[in-house]
Chain A
Amino acid sequence: MSKHISSLMPAVLAKSPNMCVHIMPLIGRISLRIRQEIDKFDDALGIELPRQIGARSSKDDIEALCLGPDEWTLLMPIEKLSTVQNTLAGLYASLPHSMTEVTGREITFAIEGEQAETLLSIGCPRDIRTIKIGQARRTLFDGATVVIWCDAHNKYRMDVWNSFAPFVAQTLETGVGELAAELTQS
């Protein structure tokens, strides 16, 4: 397996007449852990952090996803990272929390097209339809831990730790080919 994936080289990974999987460019990521007084973080960050696991919110160019009872992922343009980090650092003394930058940790695949839901079903054991538009879930894809974001009908993003990306990409490529063949036969 000589495949290598880098978010510094965004590219189309696999394409068929009605499907496209591409590697998305690098984006700023922060793992934020808070136990209490979440409202004060809302105010400081200028975005209402979603309170339900799997729920998302966005404001300006920041996206927030609630992944656990005390866990959020924040996405933002790279240029904005230091502003957000400084804001959070300013809160630390009065509102202890954990802010860890994980920009480099993940690679995101954009999975779009008529068969996107089916493509995810070749590797994800959960019912993809239960990830409603505007939500996300931490789950598995072909054995790797991933976060699947549903942005619109048949429009998904999938975050995976970068070392798993080549393996997961291979599954996605095989799947796109398989689904394209399925469509021509039916």
Chain B
Amino acid sequence: MSQFRLQGRGRVDASRPVTFTFDGKSYTGQKGDTVASALLSHGVHLMGRSFKYHRPRGPMTAGSEEPNALIGTRRGPGRFEPNTRATVQEIWDGLETTSQNKYPSIKFDLGAVNDFAYMAFSAGFYYKTFMWPRSFWDKVYEPFIRAAAGLGVAPAEVDPDTYASRYLHCDLLIVGAGPAGIAAAKEAAGKGIDVVLVDENSEMGGTLLSEPQAEIDGVPAWSWLEKELAALKAAGVKLMTRTTAIGYYHENMIGMVEKLTDHLPTLPQDTPRERMWRVRSKQVILAQGALEKPLVFHGNDRPGVMLSGSAQTYLNRYGVKVGNRPAVMTSHDSAWHTAFDLVDAGAMVQAIVDTRKEVPSALIEGAKARNIPIKLNHTITATSGRLRISSIRVNPTEGDQVGSGKWIKCDALLMSGGWTPSIHLFSHTKGKLAWDDDLTTFLPDQTPENCAIAGASRGLWGVKNALDDGAKRAAEIMSQLGQTVSAGEYAAEYTVQNDRSGSGVSMKELPTDRSASRAKAFVDYQNDVTAKDLRLAVREGMRSIEHVKRYTTNGMATDQGKMSNINGLNIASDALGKRQPEVGLTTFRPPYTPTTFGAFAGYHRGDHFEITRKTQIDSWAEQNGAAFEPVGQWRRAWYFPQEGEDMHAAVKRECAATRESVGIFDASTLGKIEVVGPDAVEFMNRVYTNPWTKLGVGKCRYGLLLGDDGYIRDDGVIARIEPERFHITTTTGGAARVLNMMEDYLQTEWPELNVWLTSTTEQYSTVALNGPNAAKVLAPLVEGIELSESAFPHMSCVNVTVAGLPARLWRVSFTGEIGFEINVAAPYGRQLWERLIEAGKPYNITPYGTETMHVLRAEKGYIIVGQDTDGTVTPYDCGMGWAIGKKKPDFVGKRGLDRPDLTAANRKQLVGLLTEDKTCLEEGAQIVFDPHHPIPMKMVGHVTSSYDEGTCGQPIALALVEGGHSKVGETVYIPMPDRTIAAKITSTIFIDPENNRLKI
């Protein structure tokens, strides 16, 4: 039995010992212990080193607000987590834990030299120290700051755990299962509404777990708790433990993280480590309680110094005495009860030191009955002990005067500076706060959300107050949820015996007889911010608490100032001589407590990182060794390397095979929209630049889509299937955007048009056949039309049967070769593909990917929207004035095109480039007219497409060049880091300008 464990006390299970290690040493705790409570039961307080000064630290609290006891936890390879709060992590057999921020050991740490140099690390030292000399920045300061930054060691291995997420909808979500939360749930339970009660702890009960002495309606607190939780469960309330509400978002959306496996000795199969719940609740009750405030004095961070309420929790919930000879320092009644409980449990309390002149007589009597020395109207001015507190220096005060000090020996110091309502989630709602002068704290006021706040989180102390308030708030909400009973009749009232609602005063740093400028009186333990730093910040001109916070980093650690905010504000407002509400409070932001990236990512990791769309032919490409590239959400076959081929060789082979015989390409990803209705042609005329009225049924036309600014947005070939039915194709990435734009115009600008749009992108698998032998491969499979120049000329479409499948067959080309696109119902895509591969064998049919498609189209000067255009390119810039229906009264972008800037002669225009030395240009490379121009040279354009795998005998490029259309034949220059490349401006068409190759 460990020295500080009290047999038969607490809620831990003595019959189930649990063994774990801390810094390699084995310790035994009991089932139900946290790492902190188990270590404390062995008298171990030293659990970490502080961030900046590397000062020895022990747990300050018993909960999630812990700033000091941050440890590393490990569960075999890959399962390491830094900065786990020892006060929250439950122990299990085999858990490995380590202290942080120490070298070589936690007891002797070289970094502690910072502590002696603390004068150099005052507020704003980042901004002052590292400014000069400038040359030190790269070699000295930045590496030093990087090495010192952050606490703990980031995990280096891939996380083998899985994470989950789920949506939850309910009528009432109650955050916090202390007395207020439970009373609220009890009020709402069993009345036909969905109630969810969550708590971040491993068990519900909140403060009741630490106050077994209370009796509620005549029943001891723990029995009451057991009974009520069972009743709630039976009434259908969803009870969730180990679940932290991390953020409160718009429209009552609450994010919650449930920890599922961190407390288990063995990991169950298929079980995620954590689950992110996205909860939408009609009403929310926040009952998160209050956090105890430390007192600010020199040496208030030594291991063994702890909040008194936490000591009470260790005693009553875990059966652990935090010391045998503790002393108490307080400005609030609650710490007196901790002292009483400890004496009753066998500890010898050395003194109760209270800053107040008067305290309730019941407390005095209680202390006297237990022979505890009382020191009212006293302050504490120092502590001693290297790795653990061994004594405190206590001084009497009289007004501003501090008398001489006297040392008192102790092995722990329990302090209380009063309580701060936990208003973090309320603050996330953009709720307004009101300063309460009596409680010296901010209390929740108005919120735009459907949210109530109950119990200690709105400044009501004591079990009865919390219970009554929880019930009352729930009753009010019930009526808002449509329950008929009025609030007054509804809410239960509780009788509570042995309740400990107390009061106290709120302090700034405690008065001292020593030099305040040398005091290490910590306000923010995690970021090592002292009272002196805050006062310095004010002296150096910071006025708003927001500036003080950023200058000193007070409240900026991972605990978000849960313990430091109000102390920091009290000190800053004192230094400024203003009331606290005039200085202000910093904003709380989600998450409430540190949250893993895994919880946010959920299922979206590895090959499920984001949506990957696949065609019905993708499986063939995968089986045939395709390399893939992402295009929008799609993954597309990029090229099909054969044995020993790199990308360059594969693409070169695919290009040549297509030009020489026949290539096959999966074009299913092209966006497709069916436009149907009596006004279909009118709609087409208004949306696309081209004229559509005279396009015959069974004919195709290239269409160009502009924004109303006149710039190219999308393009594609469009077929007239019936007089009042068009089949549009769009770019792969543009499909959704184009449909949205069309719907937008249709619904807001032209509601009079009788026409409908339907996305058919995924109705069809589309296979493109290109090459001089394309018709020969396809013809035997086609029933219903002869594939000849006369019967089925270029830019025709027809409904036929291909390989036994009903198909929309198009004669179109994006390569400059004879080309067909065969559209069949999507699921039959692979079947069609395989029939074509089979039929093409005599012609060495070659599957090609997007890269070859890019090369072949560039050789013909066909643009790719988004590559050769960038949202600032007009049809005229691309030499596509022919695509504009000049006689049409209007189309989207018509007026934009008339703007003077868009008709200027020196606009950047699309041209071809051929390099003089036959090198391949880099896409994106900048172009100049005069390479001898002094730097900075005038850039006149850039390379948009460049390939050397093609069939032109030399690399080709497309580029946007200022006034390019009038400069064909001239030379431009492309400066690169190692040399300048000269290139001649050409037409954009490098192959077959007469289109002879298109003819069958």
A166 touches B763 (CB 8 A): no
B791-813: CB near A (< 8 Å → 1, else 0) gives: 00000000000000000000000
A162 x B826 contact (CB < 8 A):
yes
Question: With an 8 A cutoff between CB atoms, is A144 at the interface?
Answer: yes
Who on chain A is nearest to B673 by CB? Answer: A100
CB distance from B826 to the nearest CB of A (A): 4
By beta carbon, the residue of chain B nearest A174 is: B603
CA distance A21 to B616 in the complex (A): 21
In the complex the two chains form, is A96's CB within 8 Å of B754's CB? Answer: yes
Instruction: Please tell me if B771 contacts chain A, counting CB pairs below 8 Å.
Output: no
CB distance from A70 to the nearest CB of B (A): 7
CB of B280 within 8 A of CB of A33, answer no
Q: Quick check: is B409 within 8 A (CB to CB) of the other chain?
A: no
Partner of B677, one of A7, A96, A185: A96
Interface residue stretch chosen among A37-45, A46-54, A118-126, A148-156: A118-126
Contact flag A181-B758 (CB < 8 Å), given A101-B763, A164-B613, A171-B608: no
* Residues of chain A lying within 8 A (CB to CB) of residue B827: 6-8, 26, 104, 162
A1-B619 Cα distance, complex, nearest whole Å? 11
Q: Kindly name the residue among A8, A105, A121, A184 whose own CB sees the greatest number of chain B CB atoms within 10 A.
A: A105
Q: Mark A1-18, 1 if CB is under 8 A from B, else 0.
A: 110101110000000000
Listed A/B pairs (27) with beta-carbon separation below 8 Å: A1-B612, A4-B616, A4-B618, A8-B828, A33-B676, A33-B756, A96-B677, A98-B758, A100-B676, A100-B758, A100-B763, A102-B760, A102-B763, A103-B825, A104-B762, A104-B764, A104-B824, A104-B828, A122-B166, A122-B167, A125-B278, A127-B280, A163-B669, A167-B611, A174-B603, A174-B608, A178-B164
Cβ B677 vs Cβ A98 within 8 A: yes
Contact in complex: A129, B164 (CB < 8 Å)? no
The answer to whether A99 and B676 touch (CB under 8 A), given A2-B622, A181-B268, is yes
Any chain A CB within 8 A of the CB of B476? Answer: no
Closest to A130 in B: B169
For residue B689, give the distance in angstroms from its CB to the closest CB of chain A.
24
* Chain B 570-613 per-residue mask, 1 if CB under 8 angstroms from chain A, else 0: 00000000000000000000000000000000010001101111
How far apart are B840's CB and chain A's nearest CB, in angstroms?
23
Contact B756 A70 (CB under 8 A): yes
Q: Chain B residues with Cβ under 8 A from A166's Cβ?
A: 612, 614
A182 at interface by CB-CB < 8 Å: yes
| Chain B contacts with A in 609-646, Cβ cutoff 8 A | 610-616, 618-619, 622, 634
**Interface range on chain A (Cβ under 8 Å from partner):** 35 or more
Q: Which of B164, B608, B762 contacts A105 (CB 8 A)?
A: B762
Which residues in window 168-183 of A have CB below 8 A to B? 170-171, 174, 177-178, 180-182
Chain A interface, DSSP helix/strand/loop, else mixed:
mixed
Is the pair A185, B614 in contact by a Cβ cutoff of 8 Å? no
Given A2-B622, A26-B827, 18 other A-B residues pairs in contact with their CB atoms under 8 A? A4-B614, A98-B674, A98-B756, A100-B758, A100-B760, A104-B826, A121-B168, A125-B167, A142-B603, A143-B611, A167-B613, A170-B608, A174-B162, A178-B164, A178-B271, A178-B272, A180-B270, A181-B269
Q: Are A122 and B760 in contact (CB under 8 A)?
A: no
A35 interfacial by beta-carbon distance below 8 Å? yes
Residues of the B chain whose Cβ atoms lie less than 8 Å from the Cβ of A142: 603, 611
Q: Is the CB of B614 within 8 A of A177?
A: no
A residues within 8 A CB of B269?
181
Which chain B residues border A106 with CB–CB below 8 Å? 762
Residues of A within 8 A of B622 (CB): 2, 4
Residues of chain B contacted by A122 (CB below 8 angstroms):
164-167, 603
Interface pairs A-B: 10 shortest CB-CB: A104-B826, A104-B825, A98-B756, A163-B613, A98-B676, A127-B169, A181-B270, A33-B756, A1-B607, A4-B619
**Residue B678 is within 8 A (CB to CB) of chain A in the complex:** yes
Q: How far is the CB of A175 from chain B (nearest CB, A)?
A: 8
CA distance A31 to B634 in the complex (A): 24
Q: Which residues of B contact A7 (CB under 8 A)?
A: 827
Q: Collect the chain A residues with CB atoms within 8 Å of residue B607's CB.
A: 1, 170
- Cβ of B619: which chain A residues have Cβ within 8 Å of it? 4
Choice from A8, A35, A164, A171 contacting B754 with Cβ under 8 Å: A35
Looking across the interface, which residue of chain B has its beta carbon closest to that of A92? B724
By a CB distance below 8 angstroms, the chain B residues around A103 are 763, 825
A106 vs B674: C-alpha distance when bound (angstroms): 16
Which residues, 107 to 149 on A, are CB-close (under 8 Å) to B?
Answer: 118, 121-122, 124-127, 129, 142-144
Report Cα–Cα, A122/B278, bound state, in Å.
10
**For the complex, what is the distance from the CA of A30 to the CA of B611, rounded to whole Å?**
26
**Chain A proximity of B753: nearest CB distance (Å):** 11
In the bound complex, residues from chain A placing their C-beta under 8 Å from that of B610 are 143
If A125-B167, A127-B280, A164-B611 touch, whether A33 touches B758 (CB-CB below 8 Å) is yes
Query: Within the complex, what minimum Cβ distance (angstroms) separates A95 from chain B?
Result: 11
The answer to whether B760 touches A163, judged by C-beta atoms less than 8 angstroms apart, is: no
Closest to A168 in B: B611
Once the chains are docked, how many angstroms separate the CA of A165 from the CA of B475? 46
Q: How far is the CB of A181 from chain B (nearest CB, A)?
A: 4
The CA of A102 and the CA of B755, in the complex, are separated in Å by: 18
Give every chain B residue within 8 A of A104 (Cβ-Cβ).
Answer: 762-765, 824-828
Residue in B271, B608, B756 whose CB lies within 8 Å of A181:
B271
**Given A33-B756, A167-B612, are A105 and B271 neighbors across the interface (CB < 8 Å)?**
no
Residues of A within 8 A of B826 (CB): 104-105, 162
Q: Give Cα distance in the complex from A185 to B267, angstroms.
A: 11
A171, B167: Cβ atoms closer than 8 Å:
no
Contacts of B676 in A (CB 8 A): 33, 97-100
- Residue of chain B at shortest CB distance from A100: B758
Chain A residues contacting B278 (CB-CB under 8 Å) are: 125
In the docked arrangement, what's the CA distance between A129 and B194, Å?
12
Query: With the chains together, A167 CA to B984 CA distance in Å?
Result: 47
